[in-house]
Structure 1
């Protein structure tokens, strides 16, 4: 068995954050247009703005809004005013595809931030790629989106216009397995997923690593994400002898699932990925959620020197929703688009060329800057070069960071 290890995170990521000064006014549609004159460039946002996952989606939209306002105030790209247009995908692939078509039809859109869900991204990638319109997701973690369906044996980039600032489940699942087996001393796991692209993929990478480490999978189950009655699954968990449950899915189901597992008499923690790392999970799980775990991309934003201004300016802007798990990554995704637009404008004597979309997509590959979440850049697949991850635990009604690091295969 090949041993794998966690490399402890350094005390702080490189400083040199962007100057983030909130400005302008916020309208109810989430559009930002606080610059003056010049050419308007639209940054699209696709996320679930309504429905069960709206807490995450609204945090994404607001953070992109803040990035656009900052660029406009600072006149970061001479002659360009950035505007944000957000569309609601309701976490549905069909809606995401329709939104992608709308963005493509609007010639002012030179980049899109989103989506939240990997399954939605699958429906959008070809639409954007055919139009040469760059897409930067702050949250998609399924490896196949960048490395192809056969990523485990033969990596191949399918869509040149797709990038992401979040790391992948090829890293997140094994990272959780290593923590549970090596640090938490868990040896028997019951694995559950919601059968969706994100959840099933995450559960698979977790399971493979847990078994390699010597752990035992004592049961597996799939749930219907449209229901909230998990009593039958909870009973199976109780009788399995598991000392931990791993769930591949999102918080609207994970919260009730955790609560019902405890109610069945199985007083064991539920563990999930970034899809459950939300304050809403804690609300749904109730008091019995204490001791549950989640992994999420990056280091805790509140602890990064590079994120202090983002946190302060987000609060100063007065958004009614929290920036949630992907706020920093959403800001950085938007800023990556802004940097690419800046490069294209500078390369074309201060103007946008007729093939601006193609040039922005090409420029994105070489974008590199000190962002909210640390150094932002992309590898040959369009994946984030920042591989930081953190394990969180529910403690005193909130998420508390337990361990941060990077995964090495």
Structure 2
């Protein structure tokens, strides 16, 4: 078995006229005698402001597939680049061409139009699709977040969702703490205030007081029976709110995200609840600081997650190709193997939930007890 590398982006640019007609780059190199071919497409922009990100994703996928799918008897794995255009039409045409051939997987999708164009085409043909960049909730959970329903069973993501911790904290307050009435103090972060208040409303709660004046918000919160007070922004404002709550004898849980940074835990706030993104630390299976050097280009925002996507696909191919008689007949088996994966990746432990989303990396909720934050739950 061998892995054939697709043309580099320099060659892609030089061959732009040819690419415009089909949207993909053929792989280079000699076929193994008698070997069957399985194609992995890499859906990334060939030009424009995300071209550098596309280079990183292509190089990372190529390196990972070569590392993990290098010894499958009777098979040649071909890695090809597929141009992801701004409107998605060229991507749709190129992906259609891939599935009509010997494609077994597509990795990429750095734009929403590209992902949406490719999803139904690949899903109809049971072709594995893995994005290292997409975090749009509807792409894995469907249109109604209150009743999640996976729209495409062939779609997975090594990217981690980007929901603000404040929004997750709002749901935790309303559902977990049963705080139907909450107050919000704007300590200098309007975006965090907006994320929290909108999520409270979506969860069925009510914001009964809101503003930047701490004393006024706390007084109104007490009058209106609020049982939780959220602070957005400055840790110094959070300390003021904590003191004001105790002074007013308001029986309410103090909530925060960025506001509970710094030395807040040293100054009181017993029982306060904070939300923060869980960090995906590189695991023992990855050499620290070595990945970018191995890949050969700066990783950018998506390179590490793309390497994990390539590792996942390569690992799957090593399992689903050997018993298959053709690339197309291997596709269903590849999908089944994908849901079973669990490995140490460049961005942390990699496995997938029932919706194809990355497990781990969830927002964490912690309670302040005796000056120490203790994790009490996760979101997702």
Establish whether TM, by shorter chain, passes 0.5: yes
Equivalent residue of 1:83, what SS? strand
Report what 2:143 is aligned to: 149
Q: Aligned-residue CA RMSD in angstroms?
A: 4.2
Conserved? CA contact 2:59–2:295, under 8 Å:
no
Post-superposition offset of 1:366: 1.8
Report what 1:113 is aligned to: 107
- 1:48 paired residue among 37, 45, 49: 45
Report what 1:174 is aligned to: 165
- 2:293 paired residue among 307, 311, 315: 315
Equivalent residue of 2:287, what SS? helix
Which whole-Å CA distance do the structure 2 matches of 1:32 and 1:305 have between them?
A: 34
Conserved? CA contact 1:34–1:69, under 8 Å:
no
- 1:100 paired residue among 91, 95, 98: 95
Conserved? CA contact 1:32–1:65, under 8 Å:
no
* 1:167–1:41 CA distance, 2 compared to 1 (3 A): same
Report what 2:313 is aligned to: 337
* 1:24–1:116 CA distance, 2 compared to 1 (3 A): closer
Equivalent residue of 2:56, what SS? helix
Equivalent residue of 1:307, what SS? coil
Which whole-Å CA distance do the structure 2 matches of 1:48 and 1:353 have between them?
A: 26
Question: Whose radius of gyration is greater, 1 or 2?
Answer: 2
Report what 1:39 is aligned to: 36
Q: How does 1:266-277 map to 2 (within 5 A)?
A: none
1:408 aligns with 2:379: yes
Deviates more, 1:337-346 or 1:40-49: 337-346
Report what 2:21 is aligned to: none
Conserved? CA contact 1:191–1:207, under 8 Å:
no
Which whole-Å CA distance do the structure 2 matches of 1:122 and 1:296 have between them?
A: 27
Post-superposition offset of 1:367: 2.4
Structure 1, unaligned runs of 5 or more = 1-21, 179-184, 193-202, 219-241, 245-270, 272-294, 391-405
TM-score normalised by the chain length of structure 1 = 0.56
Post-superposition offset of 1:138: 0.8
TM-score normalised by the chain length of structure 2 = 0.59
User: Could you give the per-residue CA deviations for residues 185-217 of structure 1, whole angstroms, max 9, x where no partner exists?
Assistant: 96344449xxxxxxxxxx986763598898969
Which whole-Å CA distance do the structure 1 matches of 2:291 and 2:80 have between them?
A: 21
Report what 2:354 is aligned to: 380
Conserved? CA contact 1:173–1:205, under 8 Å:
yes
Which whole-Å CA distance do the structure 2 matches of 1:329 and 1:125 have between them?
A: 19
Report what 1:163 is aligned to: 156
Which whole-Å CA distance do the structure 1 matches of 2:136 and 2:344 have between them?
A: 25
Post-superposition offset of 1:84: 1.1
Equivalent residue of 2:349, what SS? strand
Which whole-Å CA distance do the structure 1 matches of 2:28 and 2:39 have between them?
A: 9
Equivalent residue of 1:355, what SS? helix
Post-superposition offset of 1:89: 1.2
Which whole-Å CA distance do the structure 2 matches of 1:297 and 1:352 have between them?
A: 41
Q: How does 1:250-399 map to 2 (within 5 A)?
A: 299=280, 304-308=283-287, 311-312=289-290, 314-316=292-294, 318-319=296-297, 322-348=298-324, 351-352=325-326, 355-387=329-361
* 1:26–1:125 CA distance, 2 compared to 1 (3 A): closer
Post-superposition offset of 1:161: 0.9
Conserved? CA contact 1:92–1:120, under 8 Å:
yes
User: Could you give the per-residue CA deviations for residues 313-354 of structure 1, whole angstroms, max 9, x where no partner exists?
Assistant: 5424533xx111211211111222222222223445xx5465
Which whole-Å CA distance do the structure 1 matches of 2:29 and 2:211 have between them?
A: 52
Q: How does 1:49-68 map to 2 (within 5 A)?
A: 49-68=46-65
Conserved? CA contact 1:146–1:158, under 8 Å:
yes
Which whole-Å CA distance do the structure 1 matches of 2:37 and 2:4 have between them?
A: 18
Report what 2:78 is aligned to: 83
